[in-house]
Every structure is written in structure tokens, then in C-alpha cells.
Structure 1
């Protein structure tokens, strides 16, 4: 019988493991398929490993050690231990429709792609987390990325998580273990630049749980921004405008602050901060009007946390990558 291998990186996800494994157990596979689940634990210290040990038999989990602790290394460890003809990645911070794996297999067969996946759909719990999810799905934050368009099906440059025939890894290699973030984007870039194709199917449904504090959201987006220049340097490309805009915003606001401290013209020092504040308020109103008005309490804080966190991280990443130095230590620790 053909086997699909589900590979799962995990570190300090104790609060989400029960819901994740419950959605795993609910998976309805096509007739004739079997499923194995390999969880790569990155030295969790919040009780996750003990929970996994206690529940491995209950949920049919195979546990793999990931001493490097980061996602890319965990994926590679689980991949090396897997035996399926098809590989599906899942994350613990996400719950899945009961036909998630079945739809992945169907999309893979129908498209003939080297990687398939569904849209990145966020679903919060509580007021702040729900406001983060609403902003996450909006063009004001996503910039029109197709991976966050929940109704879109078609050829794309990247997808959320992923499902691959094993031959894809034999052809393009595994995940880059020098990257703490953006390892999935880099792998998809390797696929498309190597002549492969990626397909997004709206029928592949999952719900991602965003961060539940502004500090955690800031750290997450700072790391997203920081690791992007290392991907760009590796592939010899140029950063697109949407990568530079948050960094340019951070530089502009820093210049405005310096101008104010130096006693420069008040109107000039206030121009960019005033314009950005107006944009944030307009975006907050637009998102709240499309979702819930109660999110207005948090959206004016959520949007700058993402923009400025990414922008500062991107500038730091450009500086470190340009110097040819290795990444700074605090950016090498996966944020939570």
C-alpha cells in the first residue's frame, strides 16, 4: 500500500499538541493509502517532549530528535526517517480539515506539480490573536500575496507548508539548515528556479494560530525580515520593492526622530510619522470594516508591529549578509 509521510517540526508547543494530534487522527485518507507521522522534537523544555512520549502510541507518532532545534533541521531529520512516496509537512500551530491530506494527494495527482499546498489561512483565539489574524489575511499586510488568498487555486511561487513527491527532494535537495526562518520560501525558490512547478489548491484547508502577544508578533516578523537577505544572497537575486518598503519606513522614521532631536523644521520631522499614522488608521478601519469593529482596539498596534518589526529585521539582515558574517546569535533562536 502506498504511504504518505507527515513530517512535523516541534519545539515548545505543549499548549497546541492535543488539538493538533486530534486533527491528525481525524484525517480521512483515500482508499488504499496509509499514513505515518514523524514528529521532530527540538529539545522542548515546556513539557512537549514528555507529552509526546506519553501519547506517541495513542496518536501513532514516531518521534525524531532534533538537537539543532530549528525548523529546517527538524524537517530534514523527519524526512530522512520517513519511508512514504509522498511527503506532507504539517506544523503544530495549525489545525487541519479532515480531508487535508486527501486533498493534498488529489492536487498532487491532478497538477503533476513538484509541490502543492493550500492557502495560508489565519484563525485567532481571543481578541488580540483574532485581530492579528484579520490583519494577517489583509492586503495591507500580505501585499496581495496569493498564498494568503483563501479562494485562489493555480500556479504560484510558494505555498503554505507543502506536499511533495519524494522525487522532489531527490531532485532539489532538502531544507537549508543555515536558515532559521524562510527555509520554506528558499526551498520553493530552488524548485521554481530549477524548472519545477508549485500549485495552490483552495480545497486544501487548514487554520494557522497566530501569536497571541504583540511582543511575540514583533519577534516573529523581525526574524522574517532578518532572514530574507540571507536567502537573497544565497541565490544572487535582488530584493523586491515589497521587501525594501518596511526597511525604508524604519529608516525614514529614524531620520524624522533625528531631525526632531536636532531641532530641524517641525513640519519636516512630523511629515512621515504623520503620513504613516494616517495609513495605519486607514488600514485599521478598512480591516475592521471587513471583519469586526471590535478589532479596532488592537489593529493600530498590530500593523506597526508587523511593518516595523519586519523592516528593522530586514535592515539588520542586509547589514549582516553584506558583511559576509554569520547571523547574529539572537536571530538564530526560533521565536515564540
Structure 2
């Protein structure tokens, strides 16, 4: 357990996470000493609020904060605005992840050792259902993420973006915090502002967390549609160009549109068919060591590519 740290606050934005909140909260209570834990609830309809309230009755460090705006960015901002001036560090946690032991202590030690204003961590996906296993296999590979640094456990170093873990509170507030009109990609957008203001972001591979993907094709589609729209919004706001790995999925909607002309000539179906075969074959190759449902990782990869690309393009074209 860490020594008491009144200069740190843990914020957990939450919506319908009653199944996982008890274990997460008790882990952080055991691992930390004197650090307040704020659960910003966006209107849960399950027992999430009850879970927090019952634990708060036993442990005053735990506090439930209603988040009427519902989205995560607003919940974190609200929690930070309510903190006293002694709080220097914000630790953001997501309820649907598993965290290493002594996570907060190790984040703080990393920030001190690397002299940075933010520490981000990689995400390793893991599934329990068949579809989750397939989606996790895709997300842990280049097929699903295009080589994004924080979606793989690699080497530590300074980066422009990663999964948010520890942020200097003064920099967070001086740059405006999260944009509350962005339900997704708000972390990357904030990273762009913080680095422009002189912030230094360190990716720490030893603190990789475990992420559980969406459990149904429809939920995965909706998530990646929003991801694509959020990334497009970030690029618009900062007048930036997409990276190559972000541009590749944009070819998929184009191939799908071209395939609509298949009744005119079969050649119009070739790009879409080639992409589908590449995903299915590549997914099987990636999942061969694990076997079972992992062999089907090409299916969620296809959902991710098409949903992300369509979300991105609709935001870019319609500007809303």
C-alpha cells in the first residue's frame, strides 16, 4: 500500500458498471492510502450507484458524483473542478478494465522518474465470450489497430497519445480539460492541446491494463462508428492530417460503395472481396496459436474497419 497522498485523486467515469465496480474499488482501496476515489456516474440504470453508496458508507474515501451530462469527459471534468488546490495529479480509470497491482504508486513513480506531465498505458484486450475473444485477438494485432503504440505492449517512450492514466492537474485545467462535446476521442484531442502547451506524455509498458471488448457485433459497430467520428473531429479541430494507419480503413467504405455497381460488372466487387478475404485469412493466421474463436478475428476486424471508416467520412463530409 502506498503512503498517504493528498495530492492525488482517482476519478472513475461510470455508466452501468455494477458487475465490475466492487472489485475495482476494493482493489484501489487496498492499494492506496488516503487517496480519494470519485465515481462519476452518468445515470446508471443498474445497481452501480448502490454499489458506490454502500461502499462509501464503509469507506469515506469513496464518493459518488452524479454526472448529469452522462458522457465520460464531462464526468472527469466535474470531478476535477470539485477537487481542492492540494490535488496535483489526476488518475483516470475506466471501470471495464483490469489494473496491475499498485497501479497508482507506479504511475506516480514513472512520472517522477521520466519528468513528464502525463503517463499513459497500453491496453491488452481479453475476451470471455466467443465474440469477445475474436474481437480481442483483432484488437491486439495490427489487423485491428494498425500498429497504434498504446494498443500493444512494446517499449516505453514519449508519445503523442495513449490510454489516459495519470495527468498533471494544473496542465489539465490550464488547457481546458476534456471537451464535453466529444463523447469519444476526447483523450487524443486533449493530448494534442497538452503537448502543444509543452506537456510531455510518457507511455509506460509495464503498466498495461486489460481491456474487455464489446460483446456483440452491434455494440462493436456502434463503438467504432463513434471512434471514427471522434477522430475526424479531432483532426478538424486541430487542422491535422490523419496518419497512414488511420487512412487505410477509409478505403473500405469506398470499396463497399464500388461494390454496389456489381450488377453492371463483377469487377466492381473485386476490391471489397479482396479486403474481406484479407481480413478473414489474416484473422485466421493471427489467431492460429490460440485457436478456437480467435481464428474468427477477421470478422470483428471487418466490423471495426467499416464502422470506423464510415464514421470518419460522415463526420468529415457532413461536419456534424
Give the TM-score normalised by the residue count of structure 2.
0.92
- Residues 67-104 of structure 1: per-residue CA shift (max 9 Å, x gap): 00001100101111234221110010112112111110
Superposition deviation, residue 297 in structure 1: 5.4
Q: 2: distance between equivalents of 1:98 and 1:281?
A: 37
Residue deviations 1:112-162 (CA, integer Å, cap 9, x gap) = 111102211222222221221111110111111111221321111112122
Query: Cα deviations across residues 274-331 of structure 1 (Å, max 9, x unaligned)?
Result: 2112211222122213x4111255323211111111111111111232xxxxx4xxxx
How far apart are the structure 2 equivalents of 1:206 and 1:26?
Answer: 18
How is 1:266-285 mapped onto 2 (pairs within 5 angstroms)? 266=266, 268-285=267-284
User: What is the match of residue 24 of structure 2?
Assistant: 20
1:51 corresponding residue in structure 2 = 51
Query: Does residue 173 of the first structure (1) align with residue 193 of the second (2)?
Result: no
Provide Cα deviations, 1:245-302, integer angstroms capped at 9, x if missing partner.
2222112211212x12xx3221x1221122112211222122213x411125532321
For residue 24 of structure 1, report the CA deviation from its aligned partner. Answer: 1.9
Kept in 2: contact 1:23–1:97 (CA 8 A):
no
| Per-residue deviation, 1:192 | 1.6
Give the structure 2 partner of residue 332 of structure 1. none
Unaligned runs of 5+ in 1: 322-326, 328-336
**Which stretch shifts more, 211-220 or 236-245?**
236-245
- Given that 1:2 and 1:85 are in contact with CA atoms closer than 8 Å, whether structure 2 keeps it comes out as no
Q: Could you tell me whether the CA contact under 8 Å between 1:24 and 1:96 is conserved in 2?
A: no
Question: TM-score, normalized by length of structure 1?
Answer: 0.88
Aligned pairs for 1:1-336 within 5 A: 2-3=5-6, 4-27=8-31, 29=32, 34-58=34-58, 60-83=61-84, 84-257=87-260, 259-260=261-262, 263-266=263-266, 268-289=267-288, 291-296=289-294, 298-321=296-319, 327=320
| CA deviation profile, 1:169-194 (whole Å, cap 9, x unmatched) | 24322111110100001011111222
Kindly report the root-mean-square deviation, in angstroms, between the aligned alpha carbons of the 2 structures.
1.8
